[in-house]
Structure formats: C-alpha cells, structure tokens
Structure 1
Amino acid sequence: MTKNKIWLSSPHMGENEQKYIKEAFDHNWVAPLGPNVNGLEADLEGFLGEEKKIAAVSTGTAALHLALILLGVKAGDEVICQSLTFSASANPIVYQGATPVFVDSEPDTWNICPGALEDAIKERTALGMKPKAVIAVHLYGMPYKVEEIHAVAGKYDIPVIEDAAEALGSHYKGQNCGTFAPMAILSFNGNKIITTSGGGALVCPDEDLKKKAVFLATQARDQAPHYQHSHIGYNYRMSNICAGIGRGQMEVLEERVAQRRGMHAFYTEIFSGVKEITLLRAPGTDYFCNHWLTAILTESFEQREALRLALDEDNIESRPVWKPMHLQPVFKDVPYYGGRVAEDIFDRGLCLPSGSNLTDTDRERIRSAITKFLSI
C-alpha cells in the first residue's frame, strides 16, 4: 500500500479563515478590493511596525515588479540580484527591460555576499552601468547580513529592495525582516509561512508611496468619471476573498513560526553527531530565522541525491536548494560576480519537509527514513 505523501511545505489552514471568507460572500465583496484587503494591510502593518505601509497585491512577484517601477528602473538599466534565490527575485528585472547582475552568496547565511556585491558595483559603475537597485533575499527565512549589505549599497547611493518573500516572522537584532530597506516584498504563496492561496505585499516607507503602488496595481486609472489612463497600469491588486484567507492566517502567524522552528530543532537533533551533514543555522544571536524551510548541506552531490532518493522511496518530498540564477539557461549571458559558494550550496544542499502541519506520525516516518539512510 502506498504511504501518504509527506510534502515539503503544504498550506496549513487555521480555524478563522472561513469566517472572513463568509463575511465577504455574505456582503457580496467578491470583487477585488474590500474590507478584508484593508484589514489584511492593517494587520501586516501592525505586525511589522516601523511605521511601514502595506499594499496587498496578487503575488510577491507583482510586488517586486512594482518596487522596481517605483524606483525608476527602465529598459537598459542594470539591477543587482542575489544569485542563490528563486527565479521570481530576478524575473521582474527583465519585465522592465533591464538586465540582472548576479552576485554570489556568503557561507554564513547563504545570502548575498557583501564583498562580491561591492566588486559588482565598482565594476559595473566603471563600465558606465551603475546599478539602479540591489535585490537582497532572506533565503529560507534566514536574514541576510543586514548591516554589511546596506553599508555597501549606501556607500554607492544604491537603494536596496528587501526580498522577504520567505522571511515573514524572521528578524535581525529584534527588527522584523521586511523593514530594513526603503521597499520590501512579502509572499503569501501556498507554501509560505502563511498563505492567501496566491498573494503578496509591497512594504512601503510611507502612505504616498503606497498610494502610487496601489494606483499602478489597479490599472493606473486616472481620477475621471470615464476610464482614462495616463500611465501603464497592472492588474496586481489582491482580491477580497484571498485577503480574507490572509486575515485568518495572520491570527496564527506566530504559532506557525514556532512550528517551523520546531521542525528545525527536530532535524538538529536527528543530525547531531553526523559530521558530514550540517544545517543552515543562524550565525549568531542577532539572527532570528523563521526556518520556513530547513536546509542541510551534505558531504557531496552524490550523498545529497542518495538522501533525496531515499526519502522519495518512502514518499517523502525533499528538494535541492534553489539553482543559482547565473546557472539558469535563461540567464546564461548576464554578468555574475563572486566565486562558487552558491554553486557549492546548490550541489550539496537539500531542503527537508518543514511544514507547520506535519504530525508526530509524519515526523517518525521522516526520522526512520533518515536514520535508515545514515546507517547504510
């Protein structure tokens, strides 16, 4: 008999999502916008603090696209992006007709390397192509080296866009990820810490910029009694139904973070004393990681694949870490700066089932499969 699938990270519904959705149906708020959208934005603003303003949109990718537009990125420009990330961090650069410039990771957090970042800025500027922005990612919920990255970018007067798609609930020195840069993005895709089914948010520094983002996200319709457009707009606003799911999810966010961190502790115990396997861990007490996904480094590509296939044999999903963007066929001709840190992490890195809804029975199956593999 086939065992039930244990997924890498599946949606985890609470008890109150239905309440907000029912209210939307009861009041016929099924069109885009409505009280749930306003409520979710307020909930997120209250959670993040730092007087940030939120524009709820259809995806995290849409939020990043809007951030680039608002920073004035245009065709022919260059934008620096962390290479070890999901493609959604880089694709919006191309939407604008700009060119991504990829930068290697550092081994402590697996995020964008400050030294390689400065090398990239110096060389691109010397070539007459000073980057218009830097996209820095909190990979798997691990905060990047905030002070070093922002110091480098600030030195050359280049704005940072904070890709916190995987990092809601993570913080650095007590400050929430998503609040360090002029603009940041969040994702509520089905596999994230909390979900709106599909959705995201742009984190803005003030109400004026939020209004500009919302204007662009609602087809950039001018103030007129007829349909008039003086700018190109986008259909990027979050629906009231999806926002209702998000409102219920926000009520259990801290619980979900604790459950994900509990899965990381579970794997830490399993791999204690296994010298050839290490976990992605916070490099110090300043870093608080939500451990959206628990990721490990094996001894070799062969060991990584052997473990992945052993888990798959027991119908347990695991997945190699993101393939670096500079290795992707679609980006084969764009500039890259750094060494082989990201490539090595990709070769040896594996993401393990990390969902907040995994049961004790699931965990015992995972433990058994890993223990069996390690004893071979």
Structure 2
Amino acid sequence: ATLALTSANHVYVTNKIRFDLIYFHCSITPVNDTKHFMVGAYKEHRLEGSSVRIISIFRRDSVQPLYCVFYCGTHWANGMKAEVQMHSDHFGTCYLVFSPALTHPNQRNKGLADTKLAQNQSFLRIQNLVKREEEKFQFNFTVCWSNLFGDYNNVLQVTQTLEMYKLLGVQHVVVYNTSSGSDLDRLLQSYTQDGFVEVVPWPIGKYMNPSRGWQPSEHGGDIHYYGQLTTLNDCVYRQMYQSRYVLLNDIDEIIAPYQHQTLPQMMDVLQRQNPKAEVFLIENHIFPKSQFEPSGRFELPRWRNVPGINIMAHIYREEPDYRISHPSKMIVRPRAVEQTSVHSVLRNFGQTVKVLPNVCHIIHVRVPLQGGLTKEELHEDKRVWDYERQLVPNVDKALEQAGLLIEGRKE
C-alpha cells in the first residue's frame, strides 16, 4: 500500500487519464505545488478505525488543505482530506518540523470512474502495516541519533560510544545524516555492513535553509537544527514494531546505567517498579572535554591519529545546576509515543518517570556548560572505565575494520 499527499487544486475525478506513480525511497519527498514535504507514512494501530499517520514538514505561514491518495496494489482508495495535527514546538523557525496527518482509507473503489486521484504525485510506501507483538521484535534496544551535519568527523568518540552501547545491550543504532566527514563516513559504512548501524540520508539543505545551531535568533534558518524534531519522530515510528525500547539522544551522549551492568537489566527493574511507565527521562550530565584525567592512562599511541575526542580521558563531571531548567533525554517504549520533542514526549499513552541520576544518567563529553569550574569543583566519574577490558579491544577492532587504525596516519 502506498499514498501521496496532494493539494486541493490537484484532486479530481477521471477515468480516462494514465497515472504515473512515482515511488520515493529517499527521506524527504516534496508535495507538488506546495511548500510542504512528506517524510514517512505509517499505519496507525492505536486509534479507532483505519488510519495512516504521515510525518511531514509544513511551512507555518502557508498551510494548504491537503488530500491523501491511496494506491493498494490492485485498486485506488477514495481521495480524502487529511486531518493535520501541528507540532507545538518549532523554536521560532518558519517550518513546522513535524505535522502528522491522520487519514482513513476505509472506502475502496475497484474502478476509477468516481475516485479522486492526483496525477504525477510522489508516493510513499506505508510502513508498520503489521502490528507485531513484542516477542517478535527484531531488536530489544535501538538508539536514534538525529542529524549529523557540518561534515562531523568525531570518529574516536563515535566509535567508543557505539562500542559502549553494544556492551550496554543495544542492538541497533539509527542515524539521520545530512553531512559527515570522510573518516566518519568510512566508520559508519563499516558498522552498516555488519548491521549494527542504519544510516538514513537526510538532505534537508536541498529543500530549505536549516538552522545550524540551537538558537534560531542567532543562527537563523527555516527549520530548527536541521529538522531534529522531524527525524526524532520519524525514528520513533520507524522503530515502533521493530524495537521494544528506543533511546532518543545525541551522537555525543551515552545513556549509561550506574546500578546495573546493562540497559536490559536496568529497564527490567524500572519497568517492574513502574508498570504503567512508557517514557523514562534521563538526566544529562556534562563531562568537560577541557579537563583531562592526569595519568594519561588511556592516551593510547594508536589512537592519536584518529580524529575525535577520547572520552576515556575525560572523567570529570559537572554537577547539574538544578536552579535552572535541566534538560533530559529519553528511553521510550515507542508504541506509547504519539508525538515527541527533544527533551520530553508531548503526547503519549502511558506514564512518564524521571529516573534518578544515581540509577542512570547521560555521559556527555563536550565543551563545558559551567566553564568557570576547576577540576576540584567537578565530580570524578569513571563509569566508562568499568567496561575497559572489553571496550578498548572492541574500539581497536572497529577502527581497524574501517581502515582507520593506521600508525602514522595523517589526521
């Protein structure tokens, strides 16, 4: 089953014209004669009736009436008006970065005489047609990374993060890639070949001017942070019947358990303690990349020519300033999520639980948030070192397989 969105002035009745179906497999598909774009179409099993949800990007100042056209392999379904649900977050940018459309393709017509159709539209394949039970899911834990951009080439940190996630019990990582450096491309290609990483092309710059920073007032742009809200929501729906849990966080963050060895062990306990919980908020903790562990224990010579940050050298953590809003990232059961933002779920079917930081928090190695703190004012946190015995050789192996662990290699 496939569908297309079309504007009102292109819906018509005919039985004489030849229809050219165009199936798009890329991640952003323009809607003809509008400033709108389709991203993904998903069967919605959680609402009454037969519905399809379309993840879309809308320009806020020119929302047009839209109609859905379904082609079901042997027949057309009647064209019908889409019900548009606006995402409340847009951070001051021009484009609504997520706008699901609910449609009801119940009426089917074997003939074309009285079916409303759109000529030369771009059709999307409807995903999630089968509602699988959890015991039949392909993955237990999936990580969704949104929006690589700016020729990002932080190879060493990404490798260490991916190998940490493997040790923590993650089986699948999805990354939406606008642009990455040549070295990171090689690394991701290597992980893609072994099935651990799935790269979704995200050429957002082809269609609009994305904001290149968090603050639109400073960085401008038509859409916030390369369409991050769109990709996060799309990833949730992509994984809805593939993965039991989905982690929503950035590429330089690790959601790490502190009282359990793995994420499955932790989530089994949290789920028993909170049987109705579907969204788990995890505190973000900053590990300043400007502060180094003094012994140089993990400043390994073979890693010196690999571009990127060595997270094992940064063991000092800022204490969050709880006097201000402190952001979290999330572990969610995607079947309970209807609409998400970056730091919280906006619409869901279950309860939300804030996980205590001594149980789990994010290891986020980056520029300091509280830049004036000295090493003595930071907390020592060697959680990554607990996995040293397996982590170091696994990182070596991954870099070697990608052709990036070469002595004397130029940066």
| TM-score, normalization by structure 2 | 0.25
Whichever of the two has the greater Rg, that structure is 2
Using CA pairs under 8 Å that are at least 6 residues apart, name the structure with larger relative contact order, 1 or 2: 1
More strand by share: 2
Q: Looking at secondary structure, tell me which structure has more helix per residue.
A: 1
Q: Output the TM-score relative to the length of structure 1.
A: 0.27
